[in-house]
Amino acid sequence: MIKKVLIACRGETASRLLSQFADANVPTVAVYTLEDLNSVHIQLADEAICIGKKLKDYGRLDRVISAAEVSDVDAIHAGDGPLSADERFAEVCVECGIKLLTDSDQGGFT
């Protein structure tokens, strides 16, 4: 059972994921950059953590993992963001005891 999830992407994908987790009563954390300060996905999340200034910072494994640790999540969903296909990111999630979710996990996160 997922207690709290971090969404590590932006835009429509992040908004969709945040809505799905909200419907399942799973608290959410969104990461964002200063370029996305007024984005909808920030408003949909229960918490939001800034991970940098530029859009490229969504691909910063260290910043996303740090945000996950600070917010005490037990799962991360990278959506279609730059970390979604990053094998090292998946390895670090395992090392940190954080479950990495994919769209194939839909319905199985509660």
In a domain, 12, yes or no: yes
Residue 23: per-residue pLDDT: 96
Task: Give the list of residues 6+ apart from residue 9 with CB closer than 8 angstroms, or none.
Answer: 17, 58, 77, 78, 79, 80, 81, 84
Residues 92 and 83 sit within 8 Å (Cβ to Cβ): no
Average pLDDT over residues 80-96: 94
Domain holding 70, by residue range, is: 5-105
Q: What is the pLDDT of residues 8-28, one digit of tens each?
A: 999 999 999 999 999 999 999
3-class DSSP state of 99: strand
In a domain, 110, yes or no: no
In a domain, 52, yes or no: yes
CATH of the domain at 10: 3.40.50.20
Count of structural domains within the chain: 1
Q: Is the pLDDT of residue 79 over 80?
A: yes
- pTM score, whole prediction: 0.93
